Homo-oligomer: A and B are copies of this chain.
Amino acid sequence: MQYQGHYKNAPKHYLAVDCVIFGYENYELKLLLHKRPIQPQIGGWSLMGGFCGEKEALETAANRVLRQSTGLKDIYLEQVQAFSEPDRDPAARVISVAFYALIRIDKHDAGKVDEMGARWCSLDEVPELIFDHSDIVEKAKERLQMKASLELVGKELLPDEFTLTQLRRLYEAIYQRELDPGNFRKKVLGLNVLERLNTKNTEESKKGAFNYRFRPNSEELNGHERIIKI
């Protein structure tokens, strides 16, 4: 710390992370929200968040928040951006760095969620959120759409085995529009990252649909192929 003197006139700031936690259930994309337990705006719907520790990377802080609220480790996390309007939090000047996370709802710890007073909300009916959290959700959604258009998402949101219809419904939830079943199937299989299993899922159709899984060591897509035109 021998040089810190050069910085000592610089102001210091509260620094928080806010996590937009996406999950997929019942053909819907959902968001994990909770009622803010502290002032200001106590009781208002809020993203999961927390302060960044003294010597903690923001990514680490976001992972900590996720573990606390879902019990999960090793979650897929991506930084969205920093939100720094001076008055975004009326109580104090807090800069927040937003992340989005993709969660398998079937795997998460429902107990932890209850304990935090949290709830999964359908993305179509997100309640009014505190501060600028609605803006944060909007940006996170854009980023997720961008990611899903550049590579096949699903590993993080679906069970290990899934049908192509389930995958298509996930994409329909992400883009909030319908996709042609036949064309989606051809496009996705052409990417060569899925592997058909010999088992069938008969829960969602009479005929039964083959299960697929992500090929274990597929070297992902070549470059920047688009899955879905957006």
Question: Which A residues are within 8 Å of any B CB, using their own CB?
Answer: 1-4, 6-7, 10-16, 38-40, 51-59, 79, 81-82, 84-86, 90-95, 97, 223-224, 226, 229-230
Rounded to whole angstroms, the CA-CA distance of A92 and B4 in the bound complex is: 6
Q: A6-B38, A10-B51, A13-B15 are in contact. List 11 more A-B contacts (CB 8 A).
A: A1-B92, A2-B91, A3-B91, A4-B91, A12-B13, A13-B13, A15-B95, A52-B84, A79-B82, A82-B97, A223-B230
Rounded to whole angstroms, the CA-CA distance of A16 and B91 in the bound complex is: 22
Rounded to whole angstroms, the CA-CA distance of A216 and B207 in the bound complex is: 57
A225 to B, closest residue via Cβ? B229
Whether the Cβ atoms of A94 and B7 lie closer than 8 Å is yes
Q: Contact check: which of B15, B39, B97 meets A3 at CB < 8 Å?
A: B39
Rounded to whole angstroms, the CA-CA distance of A39 and B4 in the bound complex is: 9
Whether the Cβ atoms of A7 and B52 lie closer than 8 Å is no
Q: Contact check: which of B7, B14, B79 meets A10 at CB < 8 Å?
A: B14
Whether the Cβ atoms of A81 and B84 lie closer than 8 Å is no
Q: Contact check: which of B12, B56, B91, B223 meets A6 at CB < 8 Å?
A: B91
A52 to B, closest residue via Cβ? B13
